[in-house]
Amino acid sequence: MRLTVEQKRKQYRTIYEAIWETPRIFVKDLVILLDCTPNAASNRLKESLEFKYIVGPEIRKKSYKNLKEYMYFINCKHPEYLYMKLREDPDIIYHAKTSGFCDLWIIAKEKIDVKGDIILEGYRSDYQTSYASNSTWNKALKIMEEKINSFNPKFYKPLKFPRRYSNEVINWSIEDEFLYKYFKYHLRAHIKPIMKKHQISAEKVYNFLNNLQNTCTIHTSYYPDGLSSYDPYLFMFETDYEDFIIDLFSELPSSVSFFKVSNMLFLSTYIPRELARGVDLQLSNKLYIPLLMVDLLERSVIRNKDYVIVEYSKGKDI
């Protein structure tokens, strides 16, 4: 029986929820959840990843002293040239050409000599990714507006997430590094290729995978209309109420990643264009993310705000 688009989307959502709970879940278990044949379950999983309804699961190192990463947000005269140059730099983990409060966003293994004006720099905290709400954008933004209107700092209790850069050193071998690079963007990858390439035992691989909750953060992201339907944004906030901001933006139906650099909280997410730009502000449409940010500022929930649009980027398996 041929499924409708809506039926497929419901199955993509079910697969996302299953992978969120069990990143390396077997297809045979998806068969039970989807109530379908093994071939159909395999096809839905393939489609959900190919069309980027689901991105991941991926892993990122926690911010231990020996696994730390350094971030830069800079302005420079010709960011396109510097972007191209950084593509070949072995110390650069990720970099993006952006438009907004900075021209380039750089993640490096350590401090580097950067060309340009540094807007902000520092070791990053752990990452934290939201569990995408099973909601419409309008409903999610209404809930966000209600939460902003009812927020009372007197009852705020910080949870201290995401965790800041740690001075703790964790055991991390050369084999761990090989395995990290292999699974970084593809946590569901088969283990035999990496075992063969680096002569790593199955026991070592499974020990690495079973210990991920201590060494890395796992990210499974969900985009209900497919990733290409949204624009990538990076928001920057200065606030004393980080956990409230994290809880607030976790209402969105697409996944949000949070992290800290210096005293600033960052939100990396993909959102529909009409909810962030191109809206007639004379309509005073509260279901418009920049206006929600203004509400946060006026209520002193945040002291400062800014954002960039990520134009293009490159991540490396390092």
Q: Which residue has the higher pLDDT, 116 or 30?
A: 30
- At 151-207, the pLDDT tens digits run 998 888 777 665 666 788 999 999 999 999 999 999 999 999 999 999 999 999 999
Write out pLDDT tens, residues 281-302. 554 455 577 788 888 999 999 9
CA 301 from chain centre, in angstroms, equals 23
23: DSSP letter? T
Report whether pLDDT(305) > 90: no
Find the range with the poorest average confidence among 36-40, 56-60, 290-294: 290-294
Is 259's pLDDT higher than 50? yes
- Spatial contact of 185 and 317, defined as CB atoms under 8 Å apart: yes
| pLDDT: which is higher, 77 or 18 | 18
d(CA 157, CA 119): 30
